[in-house]
A and B are shown apart, each in its own frame.
Chain A
Amino acid sequence: MSDSSIDSLREQFGRELASAASEADLRAIRDRYLSRKGGLLSALLKALGTAAASERPRLGQLANTLKKEIEQQLDERIAAAASTRAPRGAVDITLPGRRPAVGHSHPLSILRERIESIFTRMGFLVIEGPELEDDYHNFEALNMPPEHPARDMQDTLYLSSPMRSSAGSPATLLRTHTSGMQIRYMETHEPPVRLIAPGRVYRRDNLDLTHTPMFTQVEGLVVGEHVALSDLKGTLDVFVRELFGQERKVRFRPSFFPYTEPSAEVDISCAACGGNGCGMCKRTGWIEILGSGMVHPAVFESVGYDPEKYTGFAFGMGIERIALLKWGVEDIRLFYENDLRFLEQFPQ
């Protein structure tokens, strides 16, 4: 026995350990080196007797150090190998998971809820009304007597024979806007009024990329003793920025509706071009999204409000149009085809 035989055993162990590929290889190395009978280290220690007596203590210490080194390195490697071993009942976690079947809300519902929540936070009541209406609530009470030219703006679908509406009243037409509900509300409630009326409305429009004969409207109405056009601007400014983004600009442009005066169209700055003008906004930098105005005194007169005492504002928007803009939908008909490939693009 000599220093060199200890060193060569250390080198040999180092090589074998480096080439061990599995836990089984490591255990075989342990047996070969550390087994009490016939292990390479036992043999080395036995050979201590062949060394000079003066060298024995030093060589014995070196051999023991080697033994400890080998034990420690094997323990570490075996523990490391054991920790990567698949436990009992292990599964292939890369196979697909079993997802519960979950459906998707319709995009128009998602948008309607979002709009309702913005207005609810501003103190608006949400009401619903009948989809079948009578001429009085849909037109006359809104300052559109028979033969009024503005009736052409809303081409109406009529029932072949009168029918009971969900309000319990006899109806003759499909409502062209949800304004009839505002009339019904004012007929039965005193000011102040602050409400939105969402719902489906009907117009005799042919189906194309931007028109459907049925669409979803959200209309709003605020009435009080001190409600001004500036309040309309403030309210819709908050709404538009919350819905489309704080960076969007809002513009109010005079227009005409029979039931409001002054009337205003509301435009938002075009998101596609940032207001510089592009194909999407017809080079104007602005996109029209809703109609609004101060409630016409004739409307107050028809519901028995004193137009000298009360003022108010109203607004209305088609939410399909907003959805087209917001989500880049190119064909409005997609909202009514219920193609799951479309619906599933919206959150669950």
Chain B
Amino acid sequence: MRIVHEWLAELVDVPADVEVIAHEISLRGFELAAVEHGVIDFEITANRPDCLSHLGIAREASVIWGGALKPRPSGRVESDSVIPVRIEAPDLCPRYSAQLFDVTVGPSPSWLARRLEAVGVRPINNIVDVTNYVMLEIGQPMHAFDLDKLQGAELVIRRARAGETLRTLDGVDRALDPEMLVIADAQRPVAIGGVMGGANSEISESTRRMVLESAYFHPPSVRRTSKRLALKTEASTRFERGADIEAPLEGLARAAALLEKIGAATAHATRDVYPSPRLPLEVSLRGSRIARVLGTVVPEDDVPRILSRLGFLVTGQDASWQVTVPSYRVDVTREIDLIEEVGRHHGFDRIPVTFPPLDVPQAVPDPRIERDGKIRRAMTAAGFSESMTFAFVERAAALPFCRPGVEPAAIENPLSEKFAVLRPSLLPGLLDSCSHNRRRGRKDVRLFESGSRFGPSGERRAVAFAWAGERTPGHWSTQPAPVDFFDVKGTAELLADVLGAGPLDFSTSAAPFLVRGRSADVGTRGYPVGSVGLLDPAIATARGFPASEEIYVGEIDLDALASVVDAAELRTHALPKFPAIVRDISILVAQALPAAAVRGTIRSAAPALLESLVEFDRYQGKGVPEGRMSLSLRLTFRSSERTLTDDEVEAAMSTIVEALKGAHGAERR
């Protein structure tokens, strides 16, 4: 709201320095947008429609600088019933006042036009300009109809009828519906109540007689209509936040005085329809409560002083007051609202600085916070940088990560197609981040993200990672090696260890976004928790990643993992007292035989003395027949009770070799 210094000074005494005015008022809840050429632009918060006027700001100034509001000339208001006004929807329009004028339409005098321009309102003609002037001065929106353009000289305030339309003053044809309030003549709507007038009854150069409307409209109704029509006006902004229901006649009187002063009109009869007048609102205010909320004692005399300058009627004594709320203060309905008034004019800078007492120990934080911290530490230590991506993505980017036939969750009112659906996975965002880096010449990219994803079972937490380029940072001493399946498999295992989820199971994946044969579904204790593997190159290239390069990815459902985490307290094992015996074995088996099958056979054939076994080489090529592979394993035997003998271990080894021969046709190399 732009406030013109000289205009404000007509309403109340203010300092000559406009910067001082701007600063002091800005510290009382009106954020300063700009000050220039004697005009101060304040941002008016949604609760203070009364300050969308010079009068409202003048009341604030009267508290600050102590001057009383100055009277303004106002014209006659004669009540009679010359214009028929019928309110058919009193719930949406509790008060409607109108006055007849004979008018001579022409340009406004320059002082008036200049003031409007200073506030940013375009002058149109003397009639419309005066209605705008009154609105900017006292906050009451008004609308002028050309009486001779009305079809049937009456005004009916009713809901629009289905199918009715109205061309508004901005030249747009508006389809109306029965939830919208219109002002109609005997035949048709001539204005949308509180929003905008119709072109069919617009004031023009030829207008001779006018009806001036000054009304109060129900805020939620104006808001709904304004939203539905996507039509926001100076009037609708004031009505939807709450105009002053006691102001309509004051508005007419002020307009009449101005119109006559500039020779634009002669005032005639007024009609005021106000079936259920507002009841006065009284609120109690306790000094003790002010002190309790603000944490400081406001001097007892200051409370009535502040409130009465703002227009409240204050009675009472001994720090206990009865306060009558003026009709324009729609934001004040209870004691706390008065405390705010006292607090902001007392000054927040005068409130002391204290610290709230802490009298109970704090509860344990959400375990997900600690978990996210562990993930971040483990993943950054493993070389992944943390990324953050939007929770909404393009539908095309999301689809490959949805189960076949499942649609991603759509947003009703997305900003654009790029943000149309909620991400079913964190991978589309990571993929786009990989492409972003790759396009900027960065080949080695390792990123992870933990956050929410949105699937058929709702909002769930997940962690995902993507790895492109080299496995290790380039160095003069080493040959580059590209990332492969076993890197992301190991990353998933690392995460499971860090989160206490125990050993993972890997099985052939059917995930549609991974390449078959180089991907796996991940489970633990029989529950599926995610998948890892090579991202389908078609998906990667569709998001701008080079077709010739690979991205390995993984994603783990943290909520699923949390449900299987072993919460038992850690128990340590005693260190072994007796030495181990290590045996290496190399066998030839079918190339397609999974290592896990060999391991299983060994485990079941070996005595309990087998402490561990691990593959240390896998070879195909010269010396190994076509269709077979050489697999080398290291077996460690140990007893917790005694030192083992070579004979015992040899016996175990020959049992194992026999079992491997029997189960897989393995030959020892």
Q: Which residues of A contact B (CB under 8 A)?
A: 95-96, 98-106, 108-109, 113, 116, 120, 123-128, 130-132, 146-147, 149-150, 152-153, 157-161, 163-166, 171, 174, 192, 194, 200, 202, 204-206, 212-214, 222, 224, 226-231, 233-235, 237-238, 251-256, 258, 261-265, 284, 294, 296-297, 311, 335-341, 343-344, 348
Contact = CB atoms under 8 A, between A and B. Distances in A.
**In the complex, which of the residues B26, B355, B414 has the most CB atoms of chain A within 10 Å of its own CB atom?**
B355
Interface in B529-564: 559
Nearest to B458: A164
A192 B359 contact: yes
A237 B353 contact: yes
Contact of B383 (A101, A132, A165, A336): A101
Interface string B381-392: 111111111111
A342 to B, nearest CB: 10
B385 A253 contact: no
A228 B295 contact: yes
Contact of A343 (B27, B385, B414): B385
Interface stretch (B472-480, B513-521, B643-651): B472-480
Nearest to A168: B458
A263 B475 CA distance: 58
Nearest to A145: B220
B70 interface: no
Contact of A128 (B240, B351, B369, B446): B369
B343 interface: yes
B351 A166 contact: no
B389 A234 contact: no
Nearest to B45: A256
B16 interface: no
B241 interface: yes
Contact of A149 (B32, B223, B365): B223
Interface stretch (B150-158, B248-256, B372-380, B398-406): B372-380
13 contacts: A98-B473, A99-B473, A103-B379, A105-B380, A123-B358, A214-B390, A227-B356, A252-B348, A254-B348, A256-B45, A262-B294, A263-B340, A337-B436
Interface in B326-385: 334, 336-337, 339-340, 343-344, 348-349, 351-360, 362-363, 365-366, 368-369, 373, 376, 379-385
Contacts of A233: 295, 348, 351-354
Q: Which 7 A-B pairs have the closest CB atoms?
A: A230-B295, A228-B295, A164-B458, A101-B383, A256-B45, A254-B29, A338-B387
Contacts, number: 258
A147 B386 contact: no
Nearest to B223: A147
A161 B357 CA distance: 45
Nearest to B434: A338
B296 interface: yes
Dominant SS among interface residues on chain A: mixed
Nearest to B465: A103
Interface stretch (B85-93, B313-321, B449-457): B449-457
A227 B356 CA distance: 6
B387 A343 contact: yes
A234 B355 contact: yes
Contact of A252 (B31, B349, B360, B414): B349
B508 interface: no
B273 interface: no
B360 A192 contact: yes
Interface in B439-474: 440, 442, 445-448, 451-452, 454, 457-461, 472-473
A152 B293 contact: no
Interface string B224-261: 10000000000000001100000000000000000000
B167 interface: no
A231 B411 CA distance: 40
A103 B357 contact: no
Given A103-B446, A105-B376, 15 more contacts: A126-B365, A132-B459, A150-B46, A157-B411, A159-B412, A160-B411, A161-B410, A163-B458, A200-B452, A226-B292, A228-B294, A231-B356, A254-B27, A256-B29, A338-B389
A101 B473 contact: yes
A344 B473 CA distance: 14
Given A213-B415, A253-B26, A311 B459 contact: no
Interface in B476-503: 476-478
Nearest to A263: B340
A224 B356 contact: yes
Given A158-B413, A164-B458, A166-B459, A344 B295 contact: no
A102 B475 contact: no
Interface in B1-45: 26-29, 31-32, 45
Nearest to A250: B353
A109 B386 contact: yes
A294 B384 CA distance: 42
A340 B442 contact: yes
A158 B411 contact: yes
Contacts of A235: 355-356
B409 interface: yes
Contacts of B32: 284
Contacts of B390: 212-214, 336
Nearest to B33: A282
A344 B385 contact: yes
B437 interface: yes
Given A116-B369, A251-B349, A101 B356 contact: no
Given A254-B343, A256-B47, A228 B412 contact: no
Contacts of B336: 261, 294, 296-297
Nearest to A124: B362
A131 B391 contact: yes
Given A103-B379, A103-B382, A158-B413, A234 B354 contact: yes
B506 interface: no
B385 A213 contact: no
B211 to A, nearest CB: 29
A222 B413 CA distance: 35
B433 interface: yes
Contacts of A206: 415
A128 B358 CA distance: 22
B391 A200 contact: yes
Nearest to B447: A338
A188 B392 CA distance: 31
A339 B348 contact: no
Contacts of B344: 254, 262
A106 B437 contact: no
Contacts of A204: 413, 415
Contacts of A224: 356-357, 359
Nearest to B419: A213
B95 interface: no
Contacts of B349: 251-252
A152 B227 CA distance: 10
B343 A238 contact: no
Nearest to A308: B289
A109 B450 CA distance: 11
A230 B365 contact: no
A103 B384 contact: yes
Contacts of A265: 31
Contacts of B59: none
Contacts of B433: 337-338
B48 interface: yes
**In the complex, which of the residues B26, B351, B440 has the most CB atoms of chain A within 10 Å of its own CB atom?**
B351
Nearest to A207: B415
Contacts of A344: 385
A338 B409 contact: no
B46 A153 contact: yes
Nearest to B559: A166
A109 B376 contact: yes
Nearest to A206: B415
B295 A123 contact: no
B456 to A, nearest CB: 9
A329 to B, nearest CB: 14
Contacts of B459: 130-132, 163-166, 171
A152 B292 CA distance: 32
